[in-house]
């Protein structure tokens, strides 16, 4: 085999192959997303994998556009593989929202494509759950989206102390920046949203300067980023840094490094030293909703517009408590969401186990996106959740169930002349059970071994002599127990055993 073919057979890095046992694990997560969404009264929709490039250029900001897969079709149209679903949703709503009563609760699980550097919890193609409430300007809708996402994460296997929802308001950030006299708001907001990336880049380069190999520097800097994001004061996860001798020096210096690197990123965008100091202090405010709002009120001279934003955040906390999710929520002034279309409450979910650095989910309010497409003012809020991060956390924590073959029953015709009747039995059983059948003339031993290899619990053996009495042999492969069962009672007997 030549080297080119060998490389081709590996597949494209960042695009995953799903063998049955892998796909079963992913499907469990996707099915939970569907189950919870349906219970919340959401309706499923879908859009195309290809969109016009201008749709993304105009609505998602340059940072996302730099990660898209673009192409030109035979009509010379500039197209992209969808890098997210919200612009598609906004286009659909702008076209036909009049047909639907408001608010609309819609969800989808499309495949999303981004030309990012593959890392743990990040690939170039993934399934992304999206849930949106369209047509109501009320924090109760934001709270419901947060509650929906919380329920999905819990059902998938994480306990309430193993993840957190961090919440902020884009209006709060923008008002503060306006009061500071900052002009280039979109760039500064993206800098706030990228705080951890700046810290990671600094650590990586520092390790390389210390003669650490680039690949190891990548891994170690990601560990530092994970720890710093989830434990900025190093009160919980400093022990993780101490496990590697190359990271030990950062235990005492990480807070100073983070401050210097983040302030530098602000200054590079034209902020003065004073503005950078004030913005850094502002972005570090974090705590439960009550403590967060009190600190904002005590430490800053707030104008009326900002006071109204805090009132809205306080009302949100009331609804979070109503939905029973406030214990897994904190307010965090550094949450900004880099995409340009966000307008109000924004939120991100992270694990608190130290497993994966990336957000489990993220979203917020985008009240002007549909209007910008000519669809009228339609306030909206929503969440996006790729399955990759949640899957990685569950895998790391050993919370994914061992793969089981979908078939519960394996029908074995003993001889060729009973295959016809065995086929009839299979057809009847398949009305109630996933049933495997191999009518290929295999002998009894080969069929039983095949059932064992696939870990199928029950075998129905169809023999000529038993058929004279209208019976078959039912065998439990785990206990090795066998019994003769009337064909007319077979379904009832299997139901009794399988549901035990």
Q: Is the pLDDT of residue 494 over 80?
A: yes
- Mean pLDDT for 185-197 is 88
Closest alpha carbon to 134 in 325, 368, 316 = 368
Comparing 124 with 322, the larger pLDDT belongs to: 322
What pLDDT, on the 0 to 100 scale, is given for residue 45?
97
Predicted pLDDT of residue 79: 94
Q: How far is CA 405 from the centre of its chain?
A: 25
pLDDT in tens, 222-238: 888 877 877 777 777 77
What is the spatial distance between Cα 168 and Cα 329, in angstroms, rounded to a whole number?
11
Q: Is the pLDDT of residue 119 over 80?
A: no
Range in 241-255, 269-283, 380-394 the model is least confident about: 241-255
Mean per-residue pLDDT for 203-219? 89
Contacts of 136 by beta carbon, 8 Å cutoff, 6+ apart: 102, 103, 379
Alpha-carbon distance of 101 to 43, in angstroms, equals 12
Helix axis angle for 20-39 and 139-156, nearest 10°, is: 140
Given this model, what pLDDT does residue 63 score? Answer: 59
Strand partners, 347: 167, 363
Domain positions in the chain: 18-182+271-396, 409-498
How does pLDDT run across 444-491, given as a tens digit for each residue?
999 999 999 999 999 999 999 999 999 999 999 999 999 999 999 999
Report which of 164, 383, 177 is spatially closest to residue 288, judged by C-alpha positions: 164
More confident residue, 4 or 326: 326
Report the range out of 85-89, 131-135, 160-164 with the highest average pLDDT. 131-135
387, 129 in Cβ contact below 8 A? Answer: yes
The confidence score (pLDDT) of residue 65 equals: 64
Rounded to an integer, the average pLDDT of 183-210 is 89
DSSP 426-476: HHHHTTTS-EEE--S---HHHHHHHHHHTT-SEEEEE-HHHHHTTEEEEEE
In this prediction, residue 196 carries a pLDDT of 85
In which band, very low, low, confident or very high, does the pLDDT at 352 lie, cut at 50, 70 and 90?
confident
Under the phi-then-psi rule, with left for phi > 0, alpha for psi from -120 to 50, and beta for the rest, what region is 41? left
With 0-12 / 13-18 / 19 or more C-beta atoms within 10 angstroms meaning exposed / middle / buried, residue 171 is: buried
Max mean pLDDT among 55-59, 242-246, 467-471 falls in: 467-471
The crossing angle, in degrees rounded to 10, of helices 250-267 and 273-283 is: 130
Residue 122 carries which DSSP code? B
Model-level pTM?
Answer: 0.89
* Structural fold of domain 409-498: Rossmann fold (3.40.50)
Distances (CA, A) of 456 to 2, 405, 410, 475: 40, 7, 7, 11
Say what the pLDDT of residue 12 is.
85
Task: Assign a CATH topology to domain 18-182+271-396.
Answer: BirA Bifunctional Protein; domain 2 (3.30.930)
Cβ neighbours around 390 below 10 Å, total:
26
Q: What is the pLDDT of residue 167?
A: 96
Mean pLDDT, rounded, for 242-271: 89
Strand 78-81's sheet: what is its strand order? 50-52, 78-81, 69-72
Q: Are strands 435-437 and 409-413 parallel, antiparallel or unpaired?
A: parallel
Confidence of residue 368 (pLDDT cuts 50, 70, 90): confident
DSSP of 51-68, one letter per residue?
A: EEHHHHHHHS-HHHHTT-
Residue 473 has, within 13 A of its CA and on its CB side, a CA count of 17
Topology alike, domains 18-182+271-396 and 409-498: no
| Predicted local confidence at residue 144, as pLDDT | 98
Please, which residues bridge with residue 436 across strands?
Answer: 410
Please check the confidence at residue 336 and state whether its pLDDT lies above 90: no
Cα separation, 36 vs 295, in Å, equals: 36
Q: 3-state DSSP call for residue 404?
A: coil
Residues 168-183 have pLDDT tens digits of 999 999 999 998 899 8
Instruction: Please write the tens of the pLDDT for every residue from 14-29.
Output: 899 999 999 999 999 9
Q: What's the pLDDT score for residue 295?
A: 94
| Dihedral pair phi/psi, residue 22, rounded to 5° | -70, -45
Measured between alpha carbons, how far apart are the two ends of the chain, in Å? Answer: 52
pLDDT tens for 415-446 read: 999 999 999 999 999 999 999 999 999 999 99
Q: What is the pLDDT of residue 3?
A: 82
Indicate the average pLDDT of the chain.
Answer: 90
The pLDDT score that the predictor gives to residue 1 is 67
The Cα–Cα gap between 315 and 312 comes to 5
- The 10 Å Cβ neighbour count of residue 63 is 15
Determine the pLDDT at residue 120. 67
pLDDT of residue 59: 61
Task: Report the pLDDT averaged over residues 50-77.
Answer: 80
CA distances from 37 to 33, 106, 131, 261, 316 (A): 6, 9, 8, 41, 21
């Amino acid at each position: 085999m030549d080297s080119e073919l060998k490389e081709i057979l590996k597949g494209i890095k960042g695009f995953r192959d799903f063998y049955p046992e892998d796909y079963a694990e992913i499907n469990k997560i996707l099915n939970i997303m569907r189950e919870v969404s349906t219970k919340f009264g959401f309706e499923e929709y879908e859009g195309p994998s290809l969109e016009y490039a201008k749709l993304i250029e105009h609505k998602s900001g340059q940072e996302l556009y730099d990660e898209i897969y673009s192409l030109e079709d035979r009509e010379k149209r500039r197209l992209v593989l969808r890098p997210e679903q919200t612009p598609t949703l906004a286009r659909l709503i702008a076209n036909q929202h009049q047909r639907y009563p408001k608010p609309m609760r819609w969800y989808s699980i499309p495949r999303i494509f981004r030309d990012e550097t593959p890392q743990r919890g990040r690939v170039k193609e993934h399934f992304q759950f999206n849930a949106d409430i369209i047509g109501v300007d009320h924090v109760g809708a934001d709270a419901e989206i947060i509650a929906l996402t919380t329920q999905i994460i819990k059902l998938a296997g994480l306990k309430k102390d193993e993840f957190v929802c961090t919440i902020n308001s884009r209006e709060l950030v923008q008002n503060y920046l306006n009061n500071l006299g900052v002009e280039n708001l979109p760039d500064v907001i993206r800098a706030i949203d990228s705080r951890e990336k700046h810290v990671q880049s600094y650590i990586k380069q520092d390790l390389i300067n210390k003669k650490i190999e680039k690949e190891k520097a990548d891994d170690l800097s990601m560990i530092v980023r994970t720890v710093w994001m989830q434990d900025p004061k190093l009160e919980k996860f400093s022990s993780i840094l101490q496990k590697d001798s190359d990271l030990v020096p950062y235990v005492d210096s990480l807070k100073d490094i983070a401050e210097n690197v983040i302030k530098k990123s602000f200054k590079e965008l034209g902020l003065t030293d004073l503005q950078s100091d004030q913005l850094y202090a502002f972005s570090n405010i974090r705590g439960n909703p009550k403590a967060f709002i009190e600190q904002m009120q005590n430490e800053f001279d707030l104008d009326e517009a900002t006071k109204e934003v805090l009132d809205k955040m306080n009302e949100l906390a009331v609804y979070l408590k109503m939905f029973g999710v406030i214990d897994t929520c904190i307010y965090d002034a550094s949450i900004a969401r880099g995409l340009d279309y966000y307008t109000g409450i924004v939120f991100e979910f992270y694990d608190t186990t130290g497993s994966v650095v990336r957000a489990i989910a993220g979203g917020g309010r985008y009240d002007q996106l549909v209007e910008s497409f000519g669809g009228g003012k339609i306030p909206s809020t929503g969440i996006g959740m790729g399955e990759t991060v949640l899957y990685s956390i569950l895998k790391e924590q050993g919370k994914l169930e061992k793969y089981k073959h979908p078939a519960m029953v394996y029908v074995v015709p003993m001889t060729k002349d009973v295959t016809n009747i065995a086929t009839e039995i299979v057809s009847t059983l398949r009305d109630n059970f996933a049933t495997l059948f191999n009518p290929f003339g295999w002998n009894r031993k080969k069929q039983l071994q095949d059932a064992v290899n696939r870990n199928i619990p029950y075998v129905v053996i169809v023999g000529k002599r038993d058929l004279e009495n209208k019976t078959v042999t039912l065998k439990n492969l785990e206990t090795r127990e066998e019994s003769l069962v009337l064909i007319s009672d077979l379904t009832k007997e299997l139901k009794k055993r399988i549901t035990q």
